[in-house]
């Protein structure tokens, strides 16, 4: 079975790097955005081609590629949400389009006998370790690099057999009333609804900090059903030790070089963790709780108006 790589996203990627992301998340420090050109990452792409069977860079029709690699130029549409100054705050639809079209490219080239892994155009990691992890895939589950909680996945790396990969990203472009505007949750939400139909408590479970601190749920409860469906559909690609060795770099800065990286990764879920135990401080997180309450109020008002 062939194993192929989709490098997806803008050639000129603009946003936070790993250090400014951790500064903002854990220390409340606002940082300047940075730009990285994928042309400067060709050594990483060459490393990938030493292990993987094929690689395509799936980007946008307003970008200019460079020699030595296959490019797909997708028609660019507006991102789902823009923040102040036109900064993208949710580009889930763009990620879906570039990933999906990259998979269709490999489907037409190699057929269904293929595993694909998509990586963002602004990251660098250990190519050999990535290949070893992806080559273990032997079922139809979706494998993000790690999970953020119940019904929430990271999106730096996502791998799967090609048929499941295409279904996953096709479903991510579907609009439904339970979406909350966060790709980490909405990707999972849409795919589970496509596979299993409406799942009770799915809205509440979208926020793993509030629902499902542990896996202790009543037998036959709605949440128990959701947990079982989620386990059958998603799994982290890397163990905790593997991820430590992956040496992940985002927009030119390594996560491991930042003093908060250990705390950050202690809060994530890897393949060898107790799947739904959130390893974080259980004291009330007021901003998160407020966001959840606002979401529930809006949902209740919307439901009332639709009667």
Tens of pLDDT, residue by residue over 1-60, are: 999 999 999 999 888 999 999 999 888 888 888 989 999 999 999 999 999 999 999 999
Residue 116: predicted pLDDT: 98
Mean pLDDT of 112-140: 97
Best CA proximity match to 121, nearest among 3, 184, 181, 42:
42
The conformation of residue 208, written as its DSSP 8-state character, comes to T
154 has pLDDT over 90 = yes
Distance (Å) of CA 32 to CA 29, 184, 187, 273: 10, 24, 28, 34
**pTM of structure:** 0.83
The CATH architecture that domain 2-305 belongs to is Alpha-Beta Complex (3.90)
pLDDT of residue 1: 92
Structure confidence at residue 133 (pLDDT): 98
Mean pLDDT of 283-288: 48
Residue 152's pLDDT is 83
Longest dimension (CA), the chain: 58
pLDDT of residue 149: 75
Cα distances (angstroms) measured from residue 226 to each of 49, 215, 222, 306: 38, 11, 6, 26
Summarised one tens digit per residue, pLDDT across range 171-200 is 988 876 666 677 888 888 889 888 988 665
How far is the CA of 242 from the CAs of 132, 143, 221, 247, 290, in angstroms?
10, 14, 34, 9, 35
Confidence of residue 267 (pLDDT cuts 50, 70, 90): confident
pLDDT in tens, 64-121: 999 999 999 999 876 654 444 444 445 668 899 999 999 999 999 999 999 999 999 9
∠ CA 153-22-269, nearest 5°, is: 30
* Residue among 105, 4, 94, 104 nearest 48 (CA): 4
50 phi, psi to nearest 5 deg = -70, -25
- Please state whether 197 falls in left (phi above 0), alpha (psi between -120 and 50) or beta: left
How many Cα atoms within 13 Å fall on the side-chain side of residue 189?
A: 23
CA distance 181 to 175: 10
Tell me the angle at which helices 162-172 and 183-196 cross, rounded to the nearest 10 degrees: 110
The DSSP annotation for 107-138 comes to HHHHTTSEEEEEEETTEE--HHHHHHHHTT--
> For a pLDDT cut of 70, what percent of the chain falls above it?
76
Q: What angle do CA 1, 189, 158 make, to 5 degrees?
A: 30
How high is the pLDDT of residue 207? Answer: 44
Q: What three-state secondary structure class fits 6?
A: strand
For 221-258, the pLDDT digits (tens) are 666 677 778 889 999 999 999 999 999 999 999 999 99
pLDDT of residue 291: 59
C-beta separation of 234 from 154 below 8 A: no
Residues 200-224 pLDDT 10s: 544 444 444 333 334 444 444 666 6
């Amino acid at each position: 079975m062939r194993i192929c790589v989709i490098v997806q996203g803008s050639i000129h990627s603009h946003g936070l790097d790993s250090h400014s992301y951790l500064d903002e998340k854990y220390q409340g420090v606002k940082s300047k955005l940075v730009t990285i050109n994928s042309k400067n990452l060709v050594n990483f792409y060459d490393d990938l081609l030493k292990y993987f069977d094929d690689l395509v860079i799936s980007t946008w029709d307003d970008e200019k590629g460079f020699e030595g690699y296959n490019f797909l130029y997708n028609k660019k549409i507006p991102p789902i949400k823009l923040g102040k100054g036109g900064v993208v705050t949710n580009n889930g639809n763009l990620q879906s389009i570039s990933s999906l079209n990259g998979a269709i490219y490999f489907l037409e080239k190699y057929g269904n006998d293929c595993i694909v892994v998509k990586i963002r155009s602004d990251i660098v990691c250990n190519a050999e370790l990535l290949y070893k992890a992806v080559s273990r895939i032997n079922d139809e589950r979706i494998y993000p690099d790690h999970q953020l909680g119940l019904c929430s996945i990271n999106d730096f790396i996502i791998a799967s057999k090609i048929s499941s990969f295409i279904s996953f990203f096709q479903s991510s472009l579907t609009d439904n009333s339970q979406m909350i505007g966060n790709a980490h949750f909405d990707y999972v939400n849409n795919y589970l609804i496509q596979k299993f139909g409406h799942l009770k408590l799915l809205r509440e479970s979208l926020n793993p900090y509030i629902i499902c601190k542990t896996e202790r749920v009543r037998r036959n409860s709605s949440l128990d059903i959701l947990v079982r469906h989620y386990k059958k559909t998603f799994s982290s690609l890397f163990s905790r030790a593997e991820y430590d060795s992956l040496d992940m770099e985002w927009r030119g800065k390594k996560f491991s070089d930042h003093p908060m990286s250990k705390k950050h990764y202690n809060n994530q879920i890897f393949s060898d963790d107790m799947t739904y135990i959130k390893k974080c401080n259980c004291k009330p997180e007021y901003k998160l709780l407020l966001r959840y309450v606002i979401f529930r109020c809006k949902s209740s008002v919307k439901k009332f108006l639709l009667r």
